[in-house]
Amino acid sequence: MDSMTLDAGKPADPYPFPPRQFIDIGGLRTAYHVEGEGPEALVFIYGGNFGGADSASSAYAWNMQVAPLAKRFRVVVPDKIGQGFTDPPLRDEDYTMGAVVAHIRDFLVAMKLPPVHIVGHSRGGFASARLAMERPDLVRSLTIVTSGTLSPGVGTNEVVLARPPHPPFTRESARWVYENYCFRKEVVTEAWMDVVMETLANPDYRRGVDKIVGEGLGADLFLPDLARYKRETLTWIDEGRLQRPTQVIWGFNDRTALVERGMELFERIARHERRTTFNVFNEAGHFVYREHPERFNALLAGFVDLHSAW
């Protein structure tokens, strides 16, 4: 049934988002969205990390991908541990990127998905690449979208977004953050900000913020641990452990991860994996897939077709 018949007079949402579902992953109530059928499964991993107070990522970030790609593929979008509407870690020592990767791994296994085409953005690009190396049996292809977290070199996220001029947990703060991420302010829609505000108001999400900001686990644990983890992960790439087709996608106008960061990442991966491409979109900031959804989706669908099961 199309939404025109449900709500006559109102234009149909071109990107209807499937309802939130839950699954237990290691004692954590884990939120996810799923749509579409097909032998090939796409899994989207968004960016950010638990405990963000100025803005908040959630599965909705991919709403422009789900409906169009679900016409041909099974599309799955989980909320990461402590983000969106998934429970935060049970133990303080799990406020790490390693715990994020382990949670995604356990989610893929619990969902009984065939080897997936994993698409990771920003910090999610790091987690996706790490997973592709730790558990290649779970991953058929890897798409990394503007990931300053994974790229060697100087990421400028903390520079561009340092200390927003609005109080934490406010719509103004979230809007300021996303407008600075994006090339065009108009792509920061009210619908998107509604979901961000809903996430920021979620008590489970706020428990993560209390840990990361209030108790200082961000500065004391998450960031130093991520630095060690990144060193090891880049070493793994240099050793040739990334054994899956990889496309790196970058926004030319992303001030938080300049295009040179993408080129550096391509060079390190391409040395060992022939099936690597680097792709840059003009007039796109950090959220390439929200600024140019049609061309992004076409590039992704073609990549999945190229690297489908034989």
Partner 1 sequence: MTVLTPRTVQANDLVTQIFEGGAGNGPAVVLLHGGTPGLVPYAGGSHLWGALPETLARTRRVIAIDAAGSGGTPAGDGPLTVEVMARHAAAAVAAVADGPVHLVGHDLGGLVGALVALDQPGLLASLAIVASAAAAPSGDGVDNLTFLGAPEPASTRQAQFWAFDRMSYAHHHIDSTLLDGSVAAAESEAHRAVLRRMANPAAAAALTGSVLRAKFGLFRAAREAAFPVPTQIIAAAEDPLVSRDHMLWLFRIIAQHQSATQFHLINRSGSFPFREQPEAFLHVLTAFQDGLLAMAA
- Residues 53-72 binding partner 1 (CB under 8 A) are 68
Tell me the closest approach of the beta carbon of residue 68 to partner 1, in angstroms. 8
In this chain, which of 193, 197, 223, 259 binds partner 1, going by CB under 8 A? 259
Distance, in Å, from the CA atom of 81 to the CA atom of 103, rounded to the nearest integer, reads 7
Tell me the closest approach of the beta carbon of residue 284 to partner 1, in angstroms. 9
Closest CB to partner 1 among residues 103, 117: 117
If one asks whether residue 301 binds partner 1 (CB under 8 A), the answer comes out as yes
Closest CB to partner 1 among residues 31, 132: 132
Q: What is the DSSP string of the chain?
A: --HHHHSTTSPPPSS--PPPEEEEETTEEEEEEEE---SSEEEEE----TT-SS----GGGGHHHHHHHHTTSEEEEEPPTTSTTSPPPSSGGG-SHHHHHHHHHHHHHHTTPPSEEEEEETHHHHHHHHHHHH-GGGEEEEEEES-TTTSSS---HHHHTSS-SS-TTSHHHHHHHHHHHSSSGGGS-HHHHHHHHHHHH-HHHHHHHIIIIIS-HIIIIIHHHHHHHHHHHHHHHHHT---S-EEEEEETT-SSS-HHHHHHHHHHHHTT-SSEEEEEESS--S-HHHHSHHHHHHHHHHHHHHTS--
Closest CB to partner 1 among residues 51, 251: 251
In this chain, which of 20, 38, 263, 308 binds partner 1, going by CB under 8 A? 263
Closest CB to partner 1 among residues 160, 263: 263
Closest CB to partner 1 among residues 230, 295: 295
Nearest C-alpha neighbor of 64 from the set 119, 14, 19, 18: 14
Tell me the closest approach of the beta carbon of residue 64 to partner 1, in angstroms. 12
Interaction pattern, residues 214-253, with partner 1; x per rule: CB under 8 A = --------------------------------------x-
Interaction pattern, residues 269-298, with partner 1; x per rule: CB under 8 A = -x--xxxxxxxxxxx--------x-xxxxx
Q: Count residues contacting partner 1 (CB under 8 A)?
A: 29
If one asks whether residue 299 binds partner 1 (CB under 8 A), the answer comes out as yes
Distance, in Å, from the CA atom of 115 to the CA atom of 202, rounded to the nearest integer, reads 32
Tell me the closest approach of the beta carbon of residue 280 to partner 1, in angstroms. 4
Closest CB to partner 1 among residues 161, 284: 284
If one asks whether residue 303 binds partner 1 (CB under 8 A), the answer comes out as yes
State the residues that interact with partner 1 by CB under 8 A: 68, 252, 259, 263, 266, 270, 273-283, 292, 294-299, 301-303, 305-306
